[in-house]
């Protein structure tokens, strides 16, 4: 009797576990019907929604994005898409891609790169960012829970502007670099206020990047 009771309990546990797994899979945007997804650019792009974890907003206008490496997550803008052609992934070691963002009054691009490397390479990575931008960037350091963020603003002669960021995992190996470039699409007189608001958006987005604990 005890044997059959134990087998019944085991069967129910497996059955319930399978149902929960199926439910979780059905809740993934990539598994859902397009008609049931939010009517925003990020979800309407087939490649981008593979990375999106939920249709619930993390904050207004943003959704949860999980890296292909599984090493980090971040807020992803509703108006953004990940460029499939330029996407590169090497297991858990490396990931690189570009995000194109279309929003009211602002057009942006974000060049994003993750490397699973030692924490003592921060200065090397900052120097590489300066070289790639061909600018004398002045980085400001923000120490937050589990990560250090290095930020520097820049402006281009073309009128575009942006922020360079490097985020270092303080608890393990791994770091993220991002070059966030924006351009105001309104008339010049109205751009100053729009640009300042967008600068704050850039900072908040970089702060949203979190490394996933192993």
**Segment 47-58, tens digit of pLDDT:** 999 999 999 999
Residue with more model confidence, 102 or 192: 102
Q: How confident is the model at residue 27 (pLDDT cuts 50, 70, 90)?
A: low
CA gap 108, 198 in Å, rounded: 10
If one compares 188 and 105, the residue with the highest pLDDT of the two is 105
Q: Which of the two residues, 108 and 16, has the higher pLDDT score?
A: 108
∠ CA 167-198-95, rounded to 5°:
35
The share of the chain scoring above pLDDT 70, in percent, equals: 86
> Using one digit for the tens of pLDDT, what is the confidence trace for 75-94?
999 999 999 999 999 999 99
**Position with higher pLDDT, 27 vs 31:** 31
pLDDT of residue 13: 46
Query: Model-level pTM?
Result: 0.81
Residue 164 and residue 65: Cα distance in Å, rounded?
20
Whether 20 has a pLDDT exceeding 60, the answer reads no
Q: What is the pLDDT of residues 97-130, one digit of tens each?
A: 999 998 888 889 999 999 998 777 889 999 999 9
The verdict on domain 62-211 having CATH code 2.60.120.1690 is yes
Domain coordinates in residue numbering, the chain = 62-211
Q: How far is the C-alpha of 53 from the C-alpha of 29, rounded, in Å? A: 7
Is the pLDDT at 19 greater than 50? The verdict is no
User: Could you identify the residue written with the tokens 């990047």?
Assistant: 209
Evaluate if residue 211 carries a pLDDT over 80. yes
Enclosing H/E stretch for 194:
helix 188-207
Tell me what pLDDT residue 1 has: 52
* In the predicted structure, residue 203 carries a pLDDT above the cut 70: yes
Mean pLDDT computed over 121-150:
92
Q: pLDDT-based confidence at 197, cuts 50/70/90? A: confident
For strands 140-144 and 175-184, give the pairing. Answer: unpaired
């Amino acid at each position: 009797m005890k044997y059959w009771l134990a087998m019944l309990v085991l069967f129910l546990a497996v059955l319930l576990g399978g149902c929960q797994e199926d439910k979780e899979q059905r809740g993934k945007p990539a598994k859902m019907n397009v008609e049931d997804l939010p009517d925003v650019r990020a979800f309407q792009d087939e490649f981008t929604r593979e990375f999106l974890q939920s249709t619930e907003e993390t904050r207004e206008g943003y959704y949860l994005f999980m890296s292909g490496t599984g090493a980090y997550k971040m807020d992803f803008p509703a108006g953004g898409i990940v460029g499939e052609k330029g996407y590169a992934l090497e297991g858990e070691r490396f990931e690189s891609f570009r995000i194109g963002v279309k929003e009211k009054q602002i057009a942006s691009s974000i060049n994003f790169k993750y490397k699973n490397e030692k924490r003592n390479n921060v200065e090397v990575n900052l120097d590489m960012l300066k070289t790639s931008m061909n600018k004398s960037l002045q980085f400001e350091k923000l120490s937050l829970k589990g990560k250090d963020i290095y930020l520097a603003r820049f402006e281009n002669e073309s009128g575009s502007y942006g922020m360079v960021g490097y985020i270092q995992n303080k608890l393990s190996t791994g770091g993220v670099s991002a070059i966030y470039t924006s351009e105001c699409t309104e008339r010049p007189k109205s751009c100053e206020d729009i640009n300042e608001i967008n600068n704050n958006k850039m900072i908040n987005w970089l702060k949203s990047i979190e490394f996933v604990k192993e």
